[in-house]
Structure formats: C-alpha cells, structure tokens
Amino acid sequence: QSVLTQPPSVSAAPGQKVTISCSGSSSNIGSNYVSWYQQLPGTAPKLLIYENNKRPSGIPDRFSGSKSGTSATLGITGLQTGDEADYYCATWDNSLSAGVFGGGTKLTVL
C-alpha cells in the first residue's frame, strides 16, 4: 500500500486530454514539492515535472502539473500513442523521513 494514492489506470483517445491524480497527506504533499515521472515500457523512469509544476528542459508543454493542499495532478494534453506509459508521483514525507512514490498509473491511449 503506497503512501501516495494514484488511480491504477486511465485512458483516453489520441488528441484528447487526461489528468492523473495523486493524493497524500499533510506530512508529504501538504508540506513538500511534488514531482512526476514517466516510465515507458522496459525503460528507466524519467522526470516529467518537478517542484509541482515545472518542466525540465526537453519536456513538452503538453505535460503540466499542479498541487492543491494534499493532492497533486498531472495533466497531459494532445495525447499521443507514444505517451502510453506508467506515471508516478513522488515527494518527501517528513514524518517517515523517507521518499514516497505513488503506486503508479498506467496510461492507455486508445
């Protein structure tokens, strides 16, 4: 059971928009920045969003992040088949003194 809660799966058609939620608590999301990672099949994770809503160089603006209270959201617009992957939220948990990841959300682009 992950400390951060994500939906197991989401799906949408090419060109559409999807959002992935990440729910935590005051000791993690409520107190710290959230980052998001994309893991394509058979590859290592890649940083998509950091500090709640910032994109590293090379990440297209189709990807966005937001945070409100103890929840965070990843948004992806203009869906492409190449976006099919597992997506993870992560942050630091002050009570656990540990890094925490969500359980991951599998995105299917129909």
Partner 1 sequence: EEQLVESGGDLVQPGGSLRLSCAASGFTFSPYWMNWVRQAPGEGLVWVSRINSDESSTNYADSVKGRFTISRDNAKNTVYLQMNSLRAEDTAVYYCARGAFSEGLDDWGQGTLVTVSS
List interacting residues with partner 1 (CB under 8 A). 2, 32-33, 35, 37, 39, 44-47, 49-51, 56, 86, 88, 90-92, 96-104
Nearer of residues 47 and 110 to partner 1, judged by Cβ = 47
Phi-psi region of 38 (alpha: psi -120 to 50; beta: other; left: phi over 0): beta
If the CB atoms of residues 57 and 81 are measured against partner 1, the closer one turns out to be 57
> Helices then strands (H, E): number in the chain?
0, 9
Note whether 92 and 99 are within 8 A (CB).
Answer: yes
**Which of 17/51 has CB closer to partner 1?**
51
